[in-house]
Amino acid sequence: MHGDDLAARVARRLAELRRQRHLSLEALARSSGVSRAMLWQIEQGRSAPTLKVLDRIAASLDVPVADLLQDPGGHHAVAVLRADRCKQLVSPDGAYVTRALFPFNGSHSVEFYEIRLAAGASEHAEAHAAGTVENLVVGSGRMEIEVDGHRHALGPGDAIHFRADQAHAYHNPGDEPAVAYLVMAYAAELNHG
């Protein structure tokens, strides 16, 4: 998904979720830690938020990040996610790229992501909503997952399962890009379906 498409989709979804919850921009700014001005720019489609900003907004609204990317009319029995037209979230330095392979749509509480992490790069994630768990398997390259101050080294085929309702980080200690697949499961109360 191009940046303009992403900005427009997030703008529509943010406005919709904020209206559903009867939240002012000021109230959302206080609860998310994202400035009112930035929220206004995002909601107007004038700014495509970073992954960390999306994560803060989603946590404040008590929804998965992918819910902010959801197409309001997009519930179909079959969905083909073309690699060349996928919605990607990219870190500001371009070293961390993720795309939803099984996005949250309100009728289930699980997401499936592909994660690409450049050689030597790290991505720090803030705590997700209470009860969220992640299960990650490395497809290629090497990764270290940091949870609760401990690093866990993983190679191709290795998997890790951990509570993601605490700060955690993904590191690539190798000299080759790493690819991993992540299943994120949310507590039942996050399932708004």
pLDDT at 1: 45
Burial of 85 (0-12, 13-18, 19+ CB in 10 A): exposed
The answer to whether residue 150 scores a pLDDT higher than 70 is yes
Give 86 or 29, the one with higher predicted confidence: 29
Handedness of CA 57, 60, 63, 65 (dihedral sign): positive
The 10s digit of each residue's pLDDT in 59-79 is 888 888 877 877 655 544 556
Residue 176 has pLDDT above 70, yes or no: yes
* Element of type H or E holding 136: strand 133-140
* Residue that is written with structure tokens 């070293």 in the block: 95
What is the CA 187 to chain-centroid distance, rounded? 16
Quote the pLDDT of residue 171: 97
* Predicted pLDDT at 139: 97
46-79 core/surface letters (b: 16 or more CB in 10 A; e: else)? ebbbebebbbbbbbbbbbbbbbbbbeeeeeeeee
Percent of the chain with pLDDT over 90: 36
Over residues 42-66, mean pLDDT: 85
Average pLDDT (11-28) is: 85
88-142 confidence digits (pLDDT tens): 778 888 898 887 777 555 555 778 889 999 999 999 998 888 888 999 999 999 9
Q: Is the pLDDT score of 3 beyond 70?
A: no
Question: For the whole model, what pTM was predicted?
Answer: 0.60
pLDDT of 57 > 50? The answer is: yes
